[in-house]
Structure 1
Amino acid sequence: MTTFVWAAVLSAALLHALWNSVVKSAGDKFMSSARVALWTGVVAALVSLVTPAPFVASLPYVIASALIHVVYFLLVGRLYRNADLSVAYPLMRGLAPLVATAIAAVTLRELPDAVALAGVLALVVGVATTGLSGLAHGRIDRVTLVVALFNSVIIAVYTVIDGEGARLAGPDAAHAFAYNAWSDELTALLYLPVVLALRGKAAGPELVRDSPRSAFAGLAAFGGYAIVVWAMTQAPIGAVAALRECSVVFAAIIGVAFLGEPFRGARAGAALLIVGGVVALRLA
Structure 2
Amino acid sequence: MSTFVWAAVLLHALWNSVVKSAGDKFMSSARVALWTGVVAVFVSLATPAPLAASLPYVIASALIHVLYFLLVGRLYRNADLSVAYPLMRGLAPLVASGIAAVTLHEVPGAVALVGVLALVAGVATMGLSGLAHGRIDRVTLVLALFNSVIIATYSVVDGEGARLAGPDALHAFAYNAWSDGLTAALYLPVVLALRGKSAGPEFVRDPLRSAFAGLAAFGGYAIVVWAMTQAPIGAVAALRECSVVFAAIIGVAFLGEPFRGARAGAALLIVGGVIALRLA
Q: TM-score, normalised by structure 2?
A: 0.98
Residue in 1 that maps onto 2:16: 20
Query: Which among 147, 154, 162 is matched to residue 143 of structure 2?
Result: 147
Distance (whole Å) between structure 2 residues aligned to residue 228 and residue 250 of structure 1: 16
In the TM superposition, what is the alpha-carbon distance from 1:5 to its structure 2 partner?
Answer: 5.7
Could you tell me whether the CA contact under 8 Å between 1:166 and 1:176 is conserved in 2? Answer: yes
* Alignment of 1:122 onto 2:118: yes
Q: Is the 8 A contact 2:91 2:148 kept in 1?
A: yes
- Give the direction of change, closer, same or farther, for the CA distance of 1:8–1:36 in structure 2 (3 Å limit): closer
Residue 3 (structure 1) shift: 6.7
- Cα distance, 1:75 vs structure 2: 0.2
Aligned counterparts of 1:283 and 1:256: Cα–Cα separation in 2: 31
Report if the CA contact (8 A) 1:3-1:282 is conserved: no
Q: Is the partner of 2:78 in helix, strand or coil? A: coil
| Alpha-carbon distance between aligned partners in 2 of 1:5 and 1:169, rounded to the nearest angstrom | 20
Q: Render the CA deviation track for 1:212-251: whole Å, top value 9, x for unaligned.
A: 0000000000000000000000000000000000000000
Kept in 1: contact 2:27–2:73 (CA 8 A) = yes
SS in 2 for 1:83: coil
In 1, Cα distance between equivalents of 2:7 and 2:249: 19
Q: Tell me the CA shift for residue 209 of structure 1.
A: 0.4
The separation in 1 between residues aligned to 2:150 and 2:85, in whole angstroms, is 14
- Backbone CA RMSD of aligned residues: 1.2
Change (3 A) 1:177 1:84: same
Counterpart Cα distance in 2 of 1:232 and 1:165: 10
Cα distance change on mapping 1:60 and 1:103 into 2, 3 Å: same
Report deviation, 1:189.
0.1
8 Å CA contact retained: 1:123, 1:277: yes
Unaligned runs of 5+ in 1: none
Residue identity (%) = 90
Q: Distance in 2 between matches of 1:20 and 1:7?
A: 15
Aligned CA distance change for structure 1 residues 234 and 151 (closer, same or farther; 3 Å): same
Whole-Å Cα distance in 2 between the matches of residues 202 and 8 of structure 1? Answer: 33
- Preserved contact between residue 8 and residue 240 of structure 2 (Cα < 8 Å): no
Question: In 1, distance between residues paired with 2:65 and 2:254?
Answer: 28
CA distance in 2, matches of 1:137, 1:120: 26
Question: Are the counterparts in 1 of residues 8 and 221 from structure 2 also a CA contact under 8 Å?
Answer: no
1:200 Cα shift?
A: 0.3
Q: How far is 1:198 from its partner?
A: 0.2
Structure 1 match to 2:256: 260
C-alpha separation in 2, matches of 1:3 and 1:166: 20
Task: Tell me by how many angstroms 1:184 deviates.
Answer: 0.1
* TM-aligned CA distance change 1:263 to 1:182, over 3 Å: same
Q: 1: distance between equivalents of 2:261 and 2:276?
A: 24
The answer on whether the counterparts of 2:87 and 2:145 sit within 8 Å (CA) in structure 1 is: yes
* Structure 2 Cα separation of the partners of residues 202 and 175 of structure 1: 38
Provide closer, same or farther for how the CA distance between residues 29 and 2 of structure 1 changes in structure 2, counting only shifts above 3 A. closer
Correspondent of 1:133 among 106, 119, 129: 129
The Cα offsets for residues 1-58 of structure 1, whole Å up to 9 and x where unpaired, read as 867667766xxxx100000000000000000000000000000000001000000000
- The change in CA–CA distance for 1:176 and 1:31 in structure 2 (over 3 A counts) is same
Say if 1:4 and 1:197 are closer, same or farther in 2 by CA, change over 3 A.
Answer: closer
Partners of 2:270 and 2:191 in 1: CA distance:
36
* Preserved CA contact (<8 Å) 1:6 1:282: no
Look up the match of 1:229: 225
Indicate if the aligned counterparts of 1:5 and 1:234 stay in contact, CA closer than 8 A.
no
Q: State the match for 2:73 in structure 1.
A: 77
Deviation string 1:178-211 (CA, Å, 9 cap, x unpaired) is: 0000000000000000000000000000111011
Say if 1:134 and 1:140, in contact at 8 Å, map to a contact too. Answer: yes
SS of the counterpart of 1:279?
helix
In structure 2, do the counterparts of structure 1 residues 37 and 3 end up closer, same or farther at CA, with 3 Å as the change threshold? closer
Cα contact 2:112–2:276 (8 A) shared by 1: yes
The corresponding residue for 2:192 is 196
1:101 and 1:109 mapped to 2: Cα distance?
Answer: 10
Q: 1:45 to 1:148 in 2, by over 3 A?
A: same
8 Å contact kept, 1:54–1:175: yes
